[in-house]
Structures are given as structure tokens and as C-alpha cells.
Amino acid sequence: MDTLILQSLSPAIAIALGVIFVMTQTAIRRHADAALTISLLSLLVALWAAFATWPANPVQATPLLVVDDYARLFTVVLTLAAIVTVVVSRVWMISEGVEQHEFFMLVLIATFGAVVLAHAQHFAAFLLGLEIMGVAVYALIAYPDRAWLPIEAGLKYLVLSSASTAILLFGFALLYAATGALGFSELGAALQQTSPLLVGTGTLMIFVGLGFKLSLVPFHMWTPDVYEGSPTPVTGFLATVSKVAIFVALLRWYHSAQLWQQATLTEALSWLAIASMLVGNFLALKQDNLKRLLGYSSIAHMGYLLIALVVLGTLGKTALAMEASVWYLIAYTASTLAAFSALSAWQSRQGPGENCQREDLNGMFWREPLIALVMTVSLLSLAGVPLTAGFIGKFYVVASGVEAALWVPLAALVLGSAVSIFYYLRVIYALSISTEATPVAAIKGQWLVQCVFMGLLLAVFALGIYPEPLIELVSGVL
């Protein structure tokens, strides 16, 4: 391999090295803060490396991976999300009294898998990334070893996710049988001349497999349980990094293999989108547990996101729809991560225990204004209220939907959003109810968490108020 390839892959390499360092360090002497520092350093180096090589021409790093600006952009997003998770989970683990060392390593491994997914241009890399990330996430979900709920959630996710990977693999095999190609763009070229039956079945099976991982209706059953059972910082990680990475790879596959030419697929996707928006939002209404609520709302958000894919399918490749999906992914990551981080910080201020029923949030406004502010802003952003990143994301999706005249999915979007306001507002209202305070001793090192909160707030507001720089960036990337 020549230096150019190594250089362009340096973000992924930095994270991988981080994994090795943490492992070695833990083997020599267990020291939580050292593990934390090494993990953060390796993520920061990865971040720096991604920026240092940007912008550049696409580099074919082996037939499996391609390093283009699209991959670099999402490497940055995923790494930032990992940094937030690491910082937030530290405080959470201290308050729960959980051993910390291996946790950071697992987050790094999962992030590595996610970064591989962002670079994947071949089914082999797709699968590798998916499994590296998946295995680490199983362990992360079941990490607190003395509680039942996480173990149940981990098992559920393990079984269902493996089953969906099996279906996915079957789909890969069918496509390979039909075309003899596994690379995304070779596949696209080969798809033109082959029998539609095998290709259609194969594609559909892949979408079923991915539908599980993205929790699209009707493959969403695991979502609320796993979200509820996982440790809160892990839920945030699962909801953002793992879904975003998969969607990023899916998007690359979708447009390099020119899947939009398959009208049936577009049709199917539009129904998946409608079902996800409606089911996700309506079921979220019934939830009193904030993690379950956010789980259902993430189902709905994946539905909104699918609209952009349907637009691509209807109009062929349009800049607006591509930008819309990338933008929505970024806005969704920022707001969802902010919501889970705030919840996790609040939980650790309440002492050990889950504490994420709605009434557990009462009084947050007056006792922890910063956490409450982050929570409120993130929920408003998820609801798509102007001045937040979520609004611009929704604006983009609706604009692209209008361009393709997709009135039925758009009607579902409007209905779903109207419903969603109700449950988001209910949470915000709960924050404002005053209660008796039961002070808990503060945990050392809160300043790092506060920095992360400031960063998240800044991101959500800056993207919402002055989106132009990111818009330019995104359109330059595509």
C-alpha cells in the first residue's frame, strides 16, 4: 500500500490504534481515567486526521473502501458522536458504580466499525463494518453486568440483529448470483442486464435486513425494549452512531448501484416510510418512559429520512434529495445525542437507578438549568421547531418531497409531526413542574460534560440559525 492510501485511511487507523492502546493499558494497570484519556486522544487524532486530509480527490483504498469527502464528513460526525458518548458515559458509570475500562474500548471498536461503514464501497466492507460495530454494541448494551434489564436487551438485540444480518447476507448472495459483482458500482453496471427476479428479491432482502437495524416499521419491534434496557449513553450511541453509519452506507449503495431505477423498490420504500412515520409517532404517544419514547420517535425519524430516498427513486439523482438525507442525518445525530446525553447526565445526578419515567424529570428546569436547556432544545429540534438544526433538516426533506410531488408521504409527515409535538411537549412540560429537591453529591470532572453540552447546544442552534456553511459543505461533498 502506498502512503496516500495509508494517509487517507488515517482516521480509521487512529481509532484502531486507540483500541490497542486501551487494551494494553488496561492489561498492565487498570486505571479508568487513563483509559478515558487514551480513548479521547485517539478520537481527537482521528478527527484531526479527517480534517487534515480534507478536501481531496477520492482515493480507492483497496477495492473495499473508498475515501472521499462524503466518507470524511461522516467520519467526523461519527467520531464527534463517539466523543460525546465517551464523555457522558464516564459520569454515568461513576454514579452507577460500574467498571469503566472496557467500556471505552468497546465504544472505540464500535466507532471503528461505523467509520468502516462510512467508507464501504463493497458488500464485504459493508458486512465487516456492520459486524465490527454490531458485536461491540451487543457488549455495550449488556455492559452493566449486575442488572437484568441490560442483559435482556442485549440478548434481544443480539438475536434479532443476527437474524437480520443473515437475511442481509442471503440478499448479498442472491445479488452475487445474479450479477457476479459485490462492489457497489460494478453491481450497478451489472444490474442493467440481469433478470429482475433475483435482483428484486436480493435487494428486498437486503432492505429487510437493514430495515431491522434502522428499525423501520414493520421491523421495529425490538427498538423500544432495547432502548429501554440499554444504559442511557449506549442508547444514545445506538440511536445515532449505529443507525447513521448504516444509513450512510445504504445511501452510498443506493446511488452508486443506481437502485432508483427499480420502481417496485421505490414503491416499497415509500410505504415503509409512511408506516414508520405513523406507527412511530402514534405509539410514542403512549410511552411514559423517556427512553422508550425516544425509541419510537427514532422510528419516525427514520421514516422522515426515507422520504429522501423515495425522492431519489422518483426523480433519479437530484442534488436536493441527497443533500436532504445528509443534512437530516447530521441534524438527527446532533439532536438525538443531545437528548440522550441530557437524560444520562440527569440520571447520574439522581444517583443510581433508571429514573427515566416522565415524572422523574420533574423540576429539572429549576434544579439543573443547563441539562434542562439541552433537553428542551434537543426535543424542540426533534420536533422540528425553527431556529434548530432539526427544522432545517425537516425543511430539506419536505422541500425535496415537494419537488417530487410525493403528497401522500408528506401528508403522513405532517400528521406525524403534529402528533409528535404532543409527546415532546409533554416531556418539556414535565421538566417545568417544580418539586422538592433531593441533592446528590456532585461527581468530579463535570466540566468535561458541560463542555460537551455547550458544544451540542451550539451545534443545534448554529445549524438552525445559520445553516449556510454546512449546506455548502454538504453540497461540496456530494
Partner 1 sequence: MSLLIVLLLAGGLIAWVSERFGEEMPSRVSVATLLLAGGVLWQLAVDVLGTGPDFSGWLAYESHTWIPRFGIHFILAMDGMSLLLVGLTLLLGIVAVIASWTEIKARAGFFQANLLWTLAGTVGVFLAMDLFLFFLFWEVMLVPMYLLIAIWGHEARAPAATKFFIFTQASGLLMLLGILATAVAYANQTGEWSFAYMDWLASPLKGDLANWVFWGFVLAFLVKLPAFPVHSWLPDAHTQAPTAGSVILAGVLLKTGAYGLLRFGVALFPENAREWSSLLLIVGVVGVLYGAVLAYGQRDFKRLVAYSSISHMGFILLGVFAWNGLAWSGAVLQMVAHGLSTAALFMIAGALQERLHTRALADMGGLWKAMPRMGAMAMFFVIASVGLPGLGNFIAEFLVLAGLWQSAPVVCAFAAIGLITGAVYALWMLQQAFHGPLGEQHVGLQDFKTRDMVALGLLAIGLLSLGLYPQPALDLIAPSLDALALKVGG
Q: Which residues bind to partner 1, rule: CB under 8 A?
A: 366, 380, 385-387, 391, 395, 398-399, 402-403, 410, 414, 417-418, 421-422, 425-426, 428-429, 432, 466-468, 471-472, 475
Q: Cα separation of 148 and 170, whole Å?
A: 33
Residue 475 beta carbon to partner 1: minimum distance, rounded to whole angstroms = 7
β-strand pairing of 59-61 with 65-67:
antiparallel
Residue 215 beta carbon to partner 1: minimum distance, rounded to whole angstroms = 24
Coil, strand or helix at 87: helix
Q: What one-character-per-residue DSSP string does 419-435 give?
A: HHHHHHHHHHHHHHS--
Q: Cα separation of 320 and 395, whole Å?
A: 11
Q: Cα separation of 138 and 445, whole Å?
A: 28
369 Cβ neighbours under 8 A, 6+ residues apart: none
Residue 447 beta carbon to partner 1: minimum distance, rounded to whole angstroms = 22
Q: Which is nearer to partner 1, 267 or 472 (CB)?
A: 472
Q: Which is nearer to partner 1, 229 or 390 (CB)?
A: 390
Residue 384 beta carbon to partner 1: minimum distance, rounded to whole angstroms = 8
Residue 372 beta carbon to partner 1: minimum distance, rounded to whole angstroms = 11
29 Cβ neighbours under 8 A, 6+ residues apart: none
Nine-digit cell string for 229: 434496557
Which residue in the block uniquely carries the three cell numbers 441533592? Answer: 439
Q: Which is nearer to partner 1, 5 or 473 (CB)?
A: 473
Q: Which is nearer to partner 1, 242 or 376 (CB)?
A: 376
Residue 450 beta carbon to partner 1: minimum distance, rounded to whole angstroms = 19
Coil, strand or helix at 217: coil
Residue 418 beta carbon to partner 1: minimum distance, rounded to whole angstroms = 4
Q: Which is nearer to partner 1, 70 or 184 (CB)?
A: 70
Coil, strand or helix at 361: helix
Nine-digit cell string for 474: 454538504
Torsion sign, CA atoms 385, 389, 392, 395: negative
Nine-digit cell string for 444: 468530579
Residue 79 beta carbon to partner 1: minimum distance, rounded to whole angstroms = 26
Q: Which is nearer to partner 1, 351 or 476 (CB)?
A: 476
Q: Which is nearer to partner 1, 152 or 403 (CB)?
A: 403
Residue 164 beta carbon to partner 1: minimum distance, rounded to whole angstroms = 33
Identify whether the C-beta of residue 157 lies closer than 8 Å to the C-beta of residue 137: yes
Q: Which is nearer to partner 1, 115 or 278 (CB)?
A: 278
Q: Which is nearer to partner 1, 150 or 464 (CB)?
A: 464
Q: Cα separation of 196 and 199, whole Å?
A: 5
**Helix axes 243-256 and 123-141, enclosed angle (nearest 10):** 170
Q: Cα separation of 47 and 52, whole Å?
A: 9
Alpha helices in 316-406 (DSSP H): 319-349, 364-367, 369-383, 389-403
Q: Cα separation of 289 and 335, whole Å?
A: 18
Q: Which is nearer to partner 1, 100 or 287 (CB)?
A: 287
Q: Which is nearer to partner 1, 20 or 407 (CB)?
A: 407
Identify whether the C-beta of residue 174 lies closer than 8 Å to the C-beta of residue 190: no
- Strand-pairing partners, residue 431, are none
Residue 424 beta carbon to partner 1: minimum distance, rounded to whole angstroms = 10
**Nearest residue to 12 (alpha-carbon basis) of 69, 89, 76:** 76
Residue 465 beta carbon to partner 1: minimum distance, rounded to whole angstroms = 9
**Nearest residue to 80 (alpha-carbon basis) of 455, 468, 473, 467:** 455
